[in-house]
Chain A
Amino acid sequence: MKRRRALLIVLSLVGALGVAGRYAWRSYTAPVPPHVPLEGVPEEKVERIRTAQQAVRATPRSGAAWGELGLTLLANGFLEQSIPCFAHAHKFSPKEPRWPYFLGSTMLTSGRREGFDKMRDALALARTPKDRRAVLLPLARALVQDGQFDEAAKRTEELRAIEGDSPTVDYVLGLLAVGRNDRETARAHLGRVTDHPCARLRACTLLVAVVDDEKVAREYLRKSADMPMDLPWPDGFEDDLARYRIDSNRGLARYTELYDKGQHEEALVILRELVANSPEPGTCFMLGFTLMSRNEFAEAAANFRKASQLSPRDAKLHMFLSMALSLQGQNRLNAPGGQAEAAQLFRDAVQAADTAIRLRHGLVDAHLTRGQALKNLGLLPEAIASFRQAVLIGPEFAEMHQALGEALAESGQLREGIEYLENAVRFAKPKETKPQQALDKWKPKAKTP
């Protein structure tokens, strides 16, 4: 009986020691989160990262916890630190395709070719068509870029097997054909996606170089010039990443959201509240800008002034203040008895523009605004000098040439003025008619003896 009890105790002790040993061994060998330099990082981001790190420390063999930490780090600018996290996530959740995918794509972003193998691992693990597509598209693109054309073609065929002859397939086959210098095939595939929102800009710009007809090429180039940036292809994994990104300026984000939805009045209310509660330069500027677009120049100027007081080294704020004052001055000029007030506003506008130029000489609009205010004050030679600076800094802007041309013409220097007005017409955008109107006004006078 005693022997049996002793044996039992010994066995229990051995068992307990075994369990403790295993626990100790696992704790000892458990991976720890990578060091993340958080000094200077906004509190919100730090908090989120620390939470994810704590989750990993609590369950250091959880693939999900490591993956979450990796995504949090990647979405908030710690790309290198996210790599070991995804590696651990892959190790502890070996059946989950997301982790080798992020590991691979992050490695490729940082120039490590092992990323291709990780992407291939992810593809092998991806079972659903959605997951396979999420891996196949970026993998095929990366392979094309790397010059691995045969495998890229194979992956594109796999993509075709999932979604048929889709714009995605045409897009990748188009890129592949460009890489292989197969111009005819490139034309065929890219030609099919010139209107697709995720490919149109890139397709059109690539087609410029692969079409043989110069006229058609020029047409593609013209078309691409008016296009917005291509949208990203819908991607299950990458879309996930956006959820982990922490945006610190939520107030303005709310304003932008409302404004973009066309709820301008509600957006303005939000903006006014923001300025009243925490008058930051950015919000004051935004309010001033919004008010100026509604022709409420006095209040706009007040907000630009407030912004420039809060951030006195920001040339742009002084320039906008100058612009608002100048426009307010022009309004007063047309009002009965408003001339003295207008003159003061123009003088203030010149002063604000001078401050802007002192802070940032290359701010072309400050020279233009200054010139216009000087012209309104009747100081034509000084205005011309300002406009000349504007042309020197921004020779590509029709506005600058027009302002200088008109000022020169008004001061009697017609020949030179016409030259600048002709430049203005040359640089004007298709629907910009003012330069032509100014030229039409002054050109006949130049011919008059």
Chain B
Amino acid sequence: MRDVLRVSTAGSVDDGKSTLIGRLLYETQNVASDQLKQLEHKGELDLSRLTDGLRAEREQGITIDVAFRYLNTSERRIVLADSPGHAAYTRNMATAASDSDCAVILLDAQRGIRDQSRRHALIASTMNTAHLIVVVNKMDLVDYRQSVFQRLEDDFGRYLASLGKTDAITIPVSALKGDNVVVRGASMGWYQGPTLLEALEAIPLNRDRKTQAFRMPVQWIARSEGYRGISGTVASGHIAVGDEVLVMPSGQGARVASIATARGGAERVDADTAVTLTFDRDLDVSRGHLLVHHHLPPKLTDRLQARLVWFHSEPLQPGQHVWLKSAASGLAAIVERIDHVLDVDSLNTRAADRLELNELGLVQLKMHRAIPIERYVDNKTTGSFILIDPVDNHTLAAGMVTDLDSDLKSGLPPSVTIRGEADVTVFARVLQALLARHSKPALVLTGREHPESVDLAVRSVGVIALWTHPHPGDSTWAVVFEEMDDDQKVRVAEGRISINRHLVSPEEAALIVARHLDGGRHE
């Protein structure tokens, strides 16, 4: 069990958020006695003061920021990343939500659904926060009426559904009086669901990350006498001794020989574990590479579409040069186009030629070289990045990949790219040309699976074939080949040799390759 739940909260001073968090910390005995002393105000315990750091900040004119608080329950450690709710702090909300498993969204029972509740839900949904808990607070101000709660639950439920979120839990709460925060209380007998604490304790952890394909950005090479280990943190999936992995972008493969963790050696580890791996053969690998499961490697691309949350007071403009940092890579990139800007409150999109501070937009990015990257919805670690100003080093934006360029990008010779609906004869000519010019060329094919006959056939003449896989997001390949020489690996990795994935059906591809290699015997 690795029981740490990360929760984002958001809201302003007046919506009872401070009182709610204070109540949660206080009733789970996570307030130190010296802190409690400071909460006494006119003879009463003012729980909102536990988090009034934000208010002090505002008075001092300091950037209102994300505050972290910790609470231990009998079940787990809960980390609260707390941010202000106003539109001017959307970037702080995004920061708090980025690494959270759950978002607690506040509604005000008296005032109804306000912009900041919608905004928090939108950010949580954009950041792909797995779980949403909607807290209808201040139920004491509406006489704990079920009808008020029901209406808000329905209305907000419709908004969440428009964001694609249909499994939120909604809880009626009075943070001031304490009902349904930690203790159920007697005022809302009509409510049968969990209290906020019960809901937080019941959330399953890292469900997605554990079921995804294995990914591990290489952080560090541990070198000791006669020892070379690859260190990193498993970002998704799991890895076991004996598993076959690939190094991206080189495509080199090896089997895991040993796994070392902070708790000793292991046969198998899950996502979030810091490990040092050794392999059954020497691997040319360094920081910036990505280790992946050999069946489902991510795509290499130098062009992508992404949603950005813009952090800087200077707006983004098309053509802007940036430094892109992802889990596996850091490299120069250029924002080629702004597709649209999203209105956070209405969810309407509009065309724009700039992206201002705190705005969300969809952009097209072109990178200096191809890197392994995935869609954010497929993998949070390999699908996220930050943009940095290459001159003054400010963090400019948070980025979430929404789409990859479907082609392997070329640009460097030798390169073969066929666009559009090319037919079988075109493909055959390309293959012939490749074989004529290169002793071991590489091909990129598409298919739901790679037929063994093709696999064997191309392997026997040493052709490198990368099969693209229709997969959620169509963003992964299966690499069929081994024993490539270094030059080929580089060429494949950099996408210098590529054939459009729409070229032929898998069946046709199999036929063509087999025909070509076997002198037509398969006809």
Q: Is A bound to B?
A: no
A residues with a Cβ closer than 8 A to B are none
B residues with a Cβ closer than 8 A to A are none
